[in-house]
């Protein structure tokens, strides 16, 4: 009895439908979880669906050809139509339309579809590799890697069973094409199982196997596409023998080797049998390997599932155990797992929600930082200048502005616009991880909203410029920035505690507050004017302090003298007695003063003493002169004359001429000044 192709057709339709459902599930899972590797497996399985589509088309046409052949054979045996069809075998082929269409499909359509499959595999594999190398999107947030692993294991198991069935059925000569679908399903099953194992490692923050598989999947897809293309080219030159199965180009020899490892084992066994003279295929090890494959796979799946009972918590992390979605409590307190290795019931009974609670986290208020493509972290800040934009996506805030002067437009609004770039860093409080994770759907977004609200409220009540010392506490540029940071940190922490976020605000940065780039020069002029004003005020205070210190020795002493002077002026007109007391006090204060006042007082006193003593001395001198004159007038007058001559002739050169009474001796004295020394004087000797 001939074997019908209906069974193969039905199986092809079932495999096509199930593979299509798997692709839809895998693409949805990849999009939801954020793992691009799952999507890559979906693209690989899409090639499997294309293979099953071609097989479905081929076996459908085979069923049609078989039915047509059966109908023609029945017509040929009918006596009433024997005269029409007898002896016309060549002409009878004209009525075999389905058989001719089958030959057309197997000779031309299948090679063309094989080329389409090869182009798809090569193009998609190359595209996936290119996208991985040039991907600039931020790293997505991965969700539930263990759940994804369980789903992939289920898909892998069903695909593996279908592959085994397809390969087993393909042992029949008419069902040989099913081997291509079985090999493709086995490749998809292996990739799903390998990806599930890598996701299991990802659950424990081991990412290297997943990264390797991310490059392996598109590479394998491209290699199979190249193999399919080469098979199609070689089929053109391969001789075709009638009644011999011609293997399709999309029937991968590489996947076929994995799909039917028994052929390799049989070949190796034959070689060893020939070399060593005993039947390897009859040994217990070969039989165990051939029969225990499925139990070993099930054992590996069981071990992988039981691994979900163990949890590894990193040093900067804490975790909360959930039982059926609810936090597990011990003595009415949430069970926190500290860093280390802990155990729990297997998934889905219990699962662990980990969070780096001891790590310093950062959110960005008022701007979007530039993210490094390699590390996924913000790039280090460059020079922050008012004339250049600091970051992309900066958001302005309104700040109060004081308006003074007579020329201010009455319609002007007393506010200024600033761009505020405020990074906020926080950590989770000790023992408050439950508040942070479970009391808010998105605690970081809630904290971000608090920061925006508090920054807007503070900016609306603060000022840009600093007018007085008191304004430093309410200004956000210059000297007031330190105080503004303290106030903002305190307000954000209070609001976070009120909202039960369970965080500690450790840093609020205001270094990025600057005016819009277009008006930065005007802001600089305004700030320069304010600084010039402060410089003038400080210079005036300096001159005041220097002058008072020089006058009174210190500013405090000068202020004391000034206060006494004012009080003395008032007392002169009202209370003379008090004015006299203040005058005495003035003297005491002046005596204890230093500086220019002390110097002036000391100089005045010394001059007064000198004039007083000189006057006394002059009076005593005159009194003594009068007594001397009354005692001897002539002698006194001659004494005065001699004193006068002495004082008058003292600077004049005088000559003395001596002679005896008889003028017998003459003394000649050279009274001229010597202009040049003599020879004796020049050598230090006495003259002759």
Residue ranges covered by each domain of the chain? 6-82+93-251, 308-355, 364-403+412-532
**In three state form, how does the secondary structure of 574-638 look?**
HCHHHHHHHHHHHHHHHHHCCCHHHHHHHHHHHHHHHHHHHHHHHHHHHHHHHHHHHHCHHHHHH
Say yes or no to pLDDT of 482 above 90.
no
More confident of the two residues 338 and 10:
10
Find tokens 């000779």 and name the residue.
Answer: 107
CA distances from 242 to 18, 90, 246 (A): 35, 19, 9
Average pLDDT (166-194) is: 88
Residue 571 has φ and ψ, to the nearest 5°, of -70, -25
Q: What is the rounded distance in angstroms from the CA atom of residue 335 to the CA atom of residue 595?
A: 77
Indicate whether 195 pLDDT > 60: yes
Helices (H) and strands (E) in the chain, counts: 22, 13
Q: Which of 78-87, 222-231, 492-501 has the lowest mean pLDDT?
A: 78-87
- Whether the ω angle into residue 265 lies within 30 degrees of 0, i.e. cis, is no
Q: What integer best gives the mean pLDDT of the chain?
A: 75
Helix ranges (DSSP H) in 401-518: 433-438, 443-461, 481-498
Is 218 within 8 Å of 128 (Cβ atoms)?
yes
Distance CA 482, CA 509 (A): 10
CA distance 216 to 40: 10
* CATH of span 364-403+412-532: 3.30.479.30
Q: What is the pLDDT of residues 257-292, one digit of tens each?
A: 776 655 555 555 566 565 655 565 566 666 666 566
pLDDT value of position 85: 45
Residues 6+ apart with CB under 8 A from 93: 99, 100
Place of tokens 């004209």: 94
Average pLDDT for 631-653: 81
Q: How confident is the model at residue 47 (pLDDT cuts 50, 70, 90)?
A: very high
pLDDT in tens, 494-545: 888 888 888 888 888 776 666 666 665 666 666 667 677 777 888 888 887 7
Q: Can you tell me the mean pLDDT for 550-558?
A: 70
Which residues, 6+ apart, have CB-to-CB distance to 161 below 8 Å?
none
Tokens of 521: 């020069």
């Amino acid at each position: 009895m001939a074997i019908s192709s209906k069974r193969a057709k039905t199986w092809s339709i079932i495999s096509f439908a199930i593979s299509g459902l798997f692709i839809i599930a895998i693409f949805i899972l990849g999009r939801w979880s954020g793992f691009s590797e799952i999507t890559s497996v979906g693209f690989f399985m899409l090639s499997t669906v294309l293979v099953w589509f071609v097989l479905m088309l081929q076996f459908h046409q085979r069923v049609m050809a078989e039915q047509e052949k059966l109908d023609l054979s029945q017509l040929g045996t009918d006596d009433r139509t024997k005269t029409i069809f007898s002896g016309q075998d060549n002409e009878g082929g004209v009525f075999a339309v389905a058989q001719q269409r089958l030959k057309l499909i197997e000779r031309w359509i299948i090679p063309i579809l094989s080329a389409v499959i090869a182009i798809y595999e090569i193009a998609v594999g190359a595209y996936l590799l290119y996208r991985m190398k040039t991907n600039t999107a931020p790293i997505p947030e991965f969700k539930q890697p263990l759940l994804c692993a369980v789903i992939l294991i289920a898909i892998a198991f069903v695909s593996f069973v279908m592959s085994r069935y397809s390969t087993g059925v393909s042992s029949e000569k008419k069902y040989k094409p099913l081997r291509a679908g079985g090999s493709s399903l086995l490749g998809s099953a292996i990739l799903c199982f390998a990806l599930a194992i890598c996701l299991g490692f990802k659950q424990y923050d081991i990412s290297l196997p997943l990264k390797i598989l991310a490059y392996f999947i598109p590479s394998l897809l491209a290699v199979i596409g190249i193999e399919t293309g080469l098979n199609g080219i070689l089929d053109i030159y391969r001789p075709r023998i009638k009644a011999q199965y011609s293997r399709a180009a999309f029937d991968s020899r590489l996947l076929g080797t994995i799909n039917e490892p028994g052929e390799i084992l049989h070949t190796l066994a034959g070689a060893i049998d020939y070399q060593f003279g005993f039947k390897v295929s009859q040994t217990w090890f070969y039989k165990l390997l051939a029969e225990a494959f499925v139990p070993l796979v099930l054992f590996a799946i069981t071990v992988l599932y039981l691994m979900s009972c163990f949890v590894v918590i990193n040093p900067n992390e804490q975790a909360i155990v959930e039982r059926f979605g609810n936090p597990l409590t011990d003595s009415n307190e949430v069970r926190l797992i500290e860093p280390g290795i802990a155990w729990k019931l297997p998934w889905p009974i219990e699962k662990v929600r980990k969070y780096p609670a001891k790590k310093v986290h950062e959110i960005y208020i008022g701007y979007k930082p530039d993210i490094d493509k390699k590390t996924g972290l913000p790039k280090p800040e460059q020079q922050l200048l008012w004339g250049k934009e600091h970051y992309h996506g900066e958001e302005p805030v309104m700040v109060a502005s004081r308006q003074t002067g007579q020329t201010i437009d009455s319609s002007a609004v007393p506010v200024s616009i600033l761009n505020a770039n405020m990074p906020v860093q926080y950590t989770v409080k000790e023992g408050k991880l439950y508040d942070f994770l479970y009391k808010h759907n998105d605690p970081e977004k809630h904290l971000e909203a608090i920061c925006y609200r508090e920054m807007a409220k503070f900016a609306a009540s603060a000022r840009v410029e600093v007018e007085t010392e008191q304004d430093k506490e309410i200004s956000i540029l210059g000297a007031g920035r330190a105080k503004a940071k303290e106030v903002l940190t305190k307000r954000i922490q209070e609001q976070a505690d009120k909202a039960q976020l369970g965080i500690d605000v450790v840093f609020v940065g205001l270094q990025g507050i600057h005016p819009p780039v277009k008006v930065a020069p005007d802001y600089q002029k305004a700030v320069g004017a304010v600084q010039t004003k402060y410089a003038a005020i400080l210079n005036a205070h300096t001159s005041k302090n220097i002058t008072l210190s020089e006058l009174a020795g210190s500013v405090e002493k000068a202020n004391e003298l000034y206060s006494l002077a004012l009080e003395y002026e008032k007392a002169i007109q009202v209370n003379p007695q008090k004015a006299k007391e203040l005058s005495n006090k003035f003297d005491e204060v002046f005596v204890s003063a230093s500086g220019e006042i002390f110097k002036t007082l000391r100089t005045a006193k010394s001059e007064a003493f000198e004039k007083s003593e000189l006057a006394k001395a002059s009076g005593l001198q005159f009194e003594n002169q009068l007594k001397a004159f009354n005692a001897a007038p002539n002698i006194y007058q001659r004494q005065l004359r001699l004193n006068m001559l002495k004082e008058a002739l003292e600077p004049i050169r005088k000559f003395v001429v001596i002679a005896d009474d008889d003028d017998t001796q003459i003394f000649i004295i050279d009274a001229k000044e010597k202009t040049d020394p003599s020879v004796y004087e020049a050598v230090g000797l006495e003259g002759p």
